[in-house]
Amino acid sequence: MFIKKNVNKWNSYQHHKTNDPDETAERFITLVDDLSYAKTFYPKSKVTRWINGIAAGIYQNIYQNKKEKYNRIFTFWKYELPILFKKYHYILLFTFLVFLLFVLVGVFGSIKDETFIRGVLGDNYVNMTDENIAKGDPFGVYKSENPFTMFVYIAMNNSFVALLMVIGGLVAGVGTLFVMWQNGLMLGCFQYMFFSKGLGIKSVMVIWVHGTLEILAFVIASTAGFIIARGILFPGTYSRLISFKTAIKDAFKIMIILVPVFIIAAFFESYITHLMSNTYDKESNAGLPVWVSAAILLLSLSFIIWYFIIYPIRVNKKNYPGKKIVL
């Protein structure tokens, strides 16, 4: 009876916006009353979450033109992004598992067929790596260019690949899956190539100095792509256009944080990985201690797990300044 009595009103509020401030205020008060009732008697109902979403949309509309305080950027990074990302944790899990599957396909294919690695990575790269290993400098590829030139190129290239992963969501996620497939296969073949030559642990200590941030950032970028795909394919109670617009906005908010992550990863690859490669070069004495590599790797992994998984869960359970409604 509660739903039957109010469903037409909720649908009207959701799909027919108003610019009248008095009408907006009346709608918001009515929805808060309905939400309080629903939370009291039906706290786990989908309808309760639906009403909450409509009320949150009106609240955000009221304050979208409000003059922001000097700490707006701080609030965005500390609260808004984690709260937003919490909504998409299940898509993050799905993306991670799919990417892991693609990596395992690369490893399995490499085990079964030696030519598979060359088909994925290319003859030139495999031959160059074999030559470096024979010379006693297995990771020489990371010091073949000027560090600053590498830094600029890697940061731009990784940002471009991440953008492809996000834009791929526009074609129902097929584009995102394709780019993930390419990169997952390459990673699987790449790592197997070193492990098969007895350089597995050493490759982890060198490559994953930058790879931890880089690869996990690609997973998060792919998550943003699947957010767009979900907005297109599964609009829920929203119109497809509104669902699509919301998904686009959320996806590119997530992409904002990946920009500094890719810059830091590019710095690690150009400078730290460059020095770590000397650690395993028989003719060089300019390498870094292994513990430096391990520390950077663990700190990078801890940051990703904390900011994108643990912290959003904690923030979502608490009230932060300005958080009136749980989104």
- Per-position DSSP letters for 263-320, written without gaps between them: HHHHHIIIIIHHHHHHHT-TT------HHHHHHHHHHHHHHHHIIIIIHHHHHHTS--
Query: Model confidence over 166-208: pLDDT tens digits?
Result: 999 999 999 999 999 999 999 999 999 999 988 888 889 888 9
CB contact at 8 A, 51 and 38: yes
Give the pLDDT mean for 4-31. Answer: 84
Give the pLDDT mean for 111-121. Answer: 90
Q: Enumerate residues 6+ apart whose C-beta is below 8 A from 220.
A: 92, 95, 254, 258, 308
As a whole number of angstroms, the distance between CA 239 and CA 288 comes to: 56
As a whole number of angstroms, the distance between CA 186 and CA 12 comes to: 50
Q: Does pLDDT of 44 surpass 60?
A: yes
Give the pLDDT mean for 208-227. Answer: 94
CB contact at 8 A, 137 and 283: yes
Specify the pTM.
Answer: 0.76
- Give the pLDDT score at 327: 38
Tokens of 287: 């390498």
Query: Inter-axis angle of helices 174-195 and 89-112, to 10 degrees?
Result: 50
Tokens of 192: 């197997």
Q: How confident is the model at residue 139 (pLDDT cuts 50, 70, 90)?
A: confident
Q: Does pLDDT of 89 surpass 80?
A: yes
* Average pLDDT value over all residues in the chain: 86
Query: Which comes out higher in pLDDT, residue 221 or 65?
Result: 221
Percentage of the chain beyond pLDDT 90 is 40
As a whole number of angstroms, the distance between CA 33 and CA 315 comes to: 25
- Give the pLDDT score at 321: 47
CB contact at 8 A, 218 and 183: yes
Ranges 5-14, 26-35, 69-78: which has the least confidence: 69-78
Look-up of token digits 């617009």: 245
Query: Which comes out higher in pLDDT, residue 299 or 56?
Result: 299
Q: Map out the domains of the chain as residue ranges.
A: 2-66, 87-316
Q: How confident is the model at residue 324 (pLDDT cuts 50, 70, 90)?
A: very low
CA nearest 183: which of 148, 157, 153? 157
CB-based burial label for 78 (10 Å; 0-12, 13-18, 19+): middle
- Give the pLDDT score at 260: 92
Query: Which comes out higher in pLDDT, residue 58 or 281?
Result: 58
325 SS3 class: coil
Q: How confident is the model at residue 71 (pLDDT cuts 50, 70, 90)?
A: low
- Give the pLDDT score at 65: 56
- Give the pLDDT score at 47: 87
Look-up of token digits 């300019």: 286
Q: What ranges in the chain are assigned the alpha helix state H?
A: 2-15, 21-41, 46-63, 72-75, 81-86, 89-112, 114-121, 123-134, 147-167, 174-195, 200-233, 240-267, 273-279, 290-305, 311-316
Residue 21: how many other CB atoms lie within 10 Å: 9
Tokens of 25: 């205020």
Query: Which comes out higher in pLDDT, residue 219 or 142?
Result: 219
As a whole number of angstroms, the distance between CA 113 and CA 189 comes to: 11
As a whole number of angstroms, the distance between CA 70 and CA 78 comes to: 14
Q: How confident is the model at residue 316 (pLDDT cuts 50, 70, 90)?
A: confident
Give the pLDDT mean for 35-64. Answer: 83
CA nearest 219: which of 195, 254, 247? 254
Query: Inter-axis angle of helices 89-112 and 114-121, to 10 degrees?
Result: 130
